[in-house]
Each structure stands twice: as structure tokens, then as C-alpha cells.
Amino acid sequence: MPSPYRALFAAPGSKGFSAAGFLGRMPLSMMGIGVVTMVSQLTGRYGLAGALSATMALAAAAAGPQVSRLVDQYGQRRVLRPATLIALVAAAGLLFAAHYRWPDWTLYVFSAGIGCVPSIGAMIRARWAAVYRDTPQLHTAYSFESVIDEVCFIFGPIISIGLSTAWFPEAGPLFAACFLAVGVFWLTAQRATEPAPHPRAHQGGGTAMRAPGLQVLVATFVATGAIFGAVDVVTVAFADEQGHKGAASVVLALYAAGSCVAGLVFGLLHFKGAPEPRWLLGICAMAVSMIPLLLVGNLPFLAVALFAAGLSIAPTMITTMSLIEQHVPRAQLTEGMTWVSTGLAVGVALGSAAAGWVIDAAGARAGYGVPAVSGAVAVAVGFLGYRRLSRPVPHRGGTVEQHSEREERHLA
């Protein structure tokens, strides 16, 4: 590992919370596809399987920011453990309901309960921010975490699908739940690196989404999430049309691998100047990288095009996390990071649905028009909101209300 990454772990406790975060994040890429595999094997109903996966994603998008908001106020240990217990109980209920063929409505209820799963990536980034705030090492830490995200998305689905198909249908979601339990309880046992909570009971509260810069980031990442969701669905359909459906997992792994490589390199670089232009350039690069997909004619070309498209993902995500750290009050940093993940989750659900409709109507190659259009929307939102994003941000030590009042005085 290059020396800047080794230097990250000189901080006491950093190896422990990073390892716990890796385990706790594996379910992010394992649970959804594991439920699809399980339900389709047990019932043969792909429509139900997809609907349950979408229910989990939307429930997590709704509950995630609220869980993270409580974490900012009361601390990771006090909030993550009960929230994780709710998600684990719901996961157990879903496995029993699917195995014993309970009514469909019970499957939806338990899938929604899994949405209480906390955003472990935001928790780990908040710990890095507490350790390396206002230092160059924070850029490297965010880069490392983006690489870990991609590693999870490369291996998580392979593990989940492999377990469910080679062992028993419920094995994938079961192991995802085990990873979540071990990761969260190991993480919350590490008190020394836990960021200090910021109770706001007497300060007016408020949500991090009142920060104008965060609004732009979240809106842009809804469109970005649509790119990811559409690419996944269309790639599976395209590989199926080519007669090699199993190759879809390899092709999508190359998409994540491109992002992983770019993230490692990006973390070694040190930039001068404001990050906003780099962020907008990254959004534009992601949009442009979708254009070659419209021309794909075979799987080797698709694999090369997706690897190249992946090169813009991690640098854009890393810069986004840096912008959140600048635009959101420190007392709401975890919530702010989770809102971006929520925007991505909503976008993934929308992109998947739109891509499925286009594929049914016009075929897989036409489906790549969905990520291309989504990229164009992301660029448009980025340009329209750029002035908000590049507006000078006052001191971020207080609440959103205090932040807004200072900004109003500044503008006056």
C-alpha cells in the first residue's frame, strides 16, 4: 500500500474502526441482491423479488438520515446498536416469512424494517473527520473509504449470490445480517475514536438539508444514482441478450474496479484551490462516459467502456465528501453524508425502474439511453446549483439555524 495510506493508520484506533466499518458495509451490496436471489429461488417470482429489494432501498433512504441525525445528537453507540437490532430482527423475520411462505404483505413489512440499517460508511467517514479534520490526510482517508466501498460492491454480490445458490436460498441474506451485526457491535465497542455527540435540544435542532450546498449535492446525486441503477439493470439484460447472462457480474465488477483504481490514485494526489470545480468536472466526466455505452455491440467492448466509465466515480465521490465537510455544520456531519447516500439510493431505484421499462419496450441496447439521460440531468443540476455550492460558507461549528443566521448577516 502506498505510504500516504499507511500513514493514515498511524492514528490510534484507526485500524480497528476501519476494519469494523468494512465488515459493517458488506451488507450494503449483499442484502438487496441476496433477497432477490432468495425469493426468486423459493418462489420463482422475480417481480416480487425486485419489489422487495426496492422496498428495502427506499426504506433505507427514508430512515437513514433520521438515524444519522440521532447519531450526531447522541453518539454512535447509543443509536447504532438499537437501530441495528431492529434491522436484524426484520431480516430474521424476512427469512422466516420467505422460507415458510407467509403472506406477501409480511415480506414487505420486514423488508421495510431492514431499512433501519445505519449508514456505516457515513459513520466511518465521521470518525476519520474527527481524527484528521483540516489536514491533508482527510482527503486520503476519504479516498481510502471510497476504495473500500468499491471493494464491497465487487465482492459482496459474488459472495451473496454464491452462498444462496451453492448452499441454501437464505444463506446470502443470512450472512449479510451476520456481517452487519459483527461490524456494528465491533465498531460501537471502540469508544476512543467515536466522534463527540452534539446535543441540540436547546439550540433549535433542524435538519442538515437546510444547508444550500447540501441540497445541490443531494439533488445531483439522485441523478447520479439513476446512472448506477440503470447501468446494473441494462448490463444484466444486455449480457442475457448476448447469451452470456453470467458474464454480467464480471462486467459490473470491472465497472467497480475502474472506480477502485481511480480512487487509489486520486488519494495520492494533493490539490490546491477550491474543490467545487473538480466536483463539477467529475459530474461532467461521469455523464460523458455514458455515451460510449450507446454504441456497444458486444460484451468485450462493454467491459472496456464500463471500466473507463468507472474511473470518474470514486474521484467524484471523494470530492463530494470533502464538500459536505465544508458545507454542513460539524454537529450534523454524519447526517449530511447520509443524505447524499439517500439521494443515491432514491436515484438507483428510479434508474432501475426506468431502465426496466425501456428494456421491455425497446431492448437492452436502447436501455443505455437511461444512464445517458441521467448523466445529462446530473450535469444540468450541477451547473444550475453551482453558485449555491461555491458560495462562501461561514464558520460551521454550530447548528444549521446559527449557520443560516450568520449567512444572512454576511449577505446583508
Q: Are residues 48 and 151 in the same domain?
A: yes
pLDDT in tens, 100-111: 989 989 999 999
Cβ neighbours for 367, distance < 8 A, ≥ 6 positions apart: 230, 233, 234, 237, 238, 355, 358, 359
pLDDT above 90 covers a percentage of the chain that reads 25
Q: Are residues 231 and 350 in the same domain?
A: yes
Q: For residue 328, what is the DSSP state?
A: S
Question: CA–CA separation, 175 vs 91, rounded Å?
Answer: 11
Lowest mean pLDDT among 95-104, 153-162, 300-309, 397-406: 397-406
Q: For residue 290, what is the DSSP state?
A: T
Lowest mean pLDDT among 142-146, 270-274, 373-377, 403-407: 403-407
Q: Are residues 187 and 99 in the same domain?
A: yes
Q: Are residues 124 and 215 in the same domain?
A: no
pLDDT at residue 395 is higher than 50:
no
Task: Name the residue with cell 423488508.
Answer: 111
With b meaning 16 or more CB within 10 Å and e meaning fewer, what string describes 83-118?
A: bbebbbebbebbbebbeeeeeeeebbbbbbbbbbbb
The pLDDT of residue 389? 76
The mean pLDDT value for 72-97 works out to 92
- The C-alpha cell that represents 386 in the structure block: 453551482
Q: Are residues 15 and 140 in the same domain?
A: yes
- Using CB atoms within 10 Å of the CB of residue 265, give its burial: 0 to 12 exposed, 13 to 18 middle, 19+ buried: middle
Other beta carbons within 10 angstroms of residue 297's beta carbon come to: 9
Q: Are residues 33 and 176 in the same domain?
A: yes
Q: Are residues 343 and 362 in the same domain?
A: yes
Task: Name the residue with cell 467529475.
Answer: 282
Q: Are residues 229 and 344 in the same domain?
A: yes
Contact in structure between 219 and 381 (CB atoms under 8 Å): yes
- The rounded Cα 184 to chain-centroid distance in angstroms is 17
Q: Which domain holds residue 14?
A: 9-196
Q: Are residues 262 and 394 in the same domain?
A: yes
The mean pLDDT value for 223-250 works out to 81
Q: Are residues 42 and 148 in the same domain?
A: yes
Other beta carbons within 10 angstroms of residue 369's beta carbon come to: 18
Q: What share of the chain is helix, strand, coil (3-state, %, to 5)?
A: 80, 0, 20
- Using CB atoms within 10 Å of the CB of residue 174, give its burial: 0 to 12 exposed, 13 to 18 middle, 19+ buried: buried
Asked, for residue 89, whether it belongs to a domain, the answer is yes
- At 388, is the pLDDT very low, low, confident or very high (cuts 50, 70, 90)? confident
DSSP for 24-86 reads HHHHHHHHHHHHHHHHHHHH--HHHHHHHHHHHHHHHHHHHHHHHHHHHHH-HHHHHHHHHHH
Could you tell me which of 355, 265, 247, 262 has the C-alpha nearest to residue 301? 247
Lowest mean pLDDT among 90-99, 322-331, 336-345, 386-395: 386-395
Q: Are residues 162 and 217 in the same domain?
A: no
Which of 162, 196, 230 terminates a domain? The answer is: 196
The CATH number covering residue 282 comes to: 1.20.1250.20
Total domains in the chain come to 2
User: Where would I find the H helices in 328-399?
Assistant: 333-362, 364-367, 369-384, 386-390
The mean pLDDT value for 27-56 works out to 78
Q: Are residues 280 and 399 in the same domain?
A: yes
Cβ neighbours for 262, distance < 8 A, ≥ 6 positions apart: 310, 311, 312, 313, 314, 315
pTM of the complete model: 0.74
Which of 196, 225, 258 terminates a domain? The answer is: 196
3-state SS record for 100-169: CCCCHHHHHHHHHHHCCCCCHHHHHHHHHHHHHCCCCHHHHHHHHHHHHHHHHHHHHHHHHHHHHHHCCC
Other beta carbons within 10 angstroms of residue 408's beta carbon come to: 10
Asked, for residue 201, whether it belongs to a domain, the answer is no
Which of 196, 215, 241 terminates a domain? The answer is: 196
pLDDT in tens, 252-282: 888 888 888 888 888 777 777 788 889 999 9
- At 245, is the pLDDT very low, low, confident or very high (cuts 50, 70, 90)? low
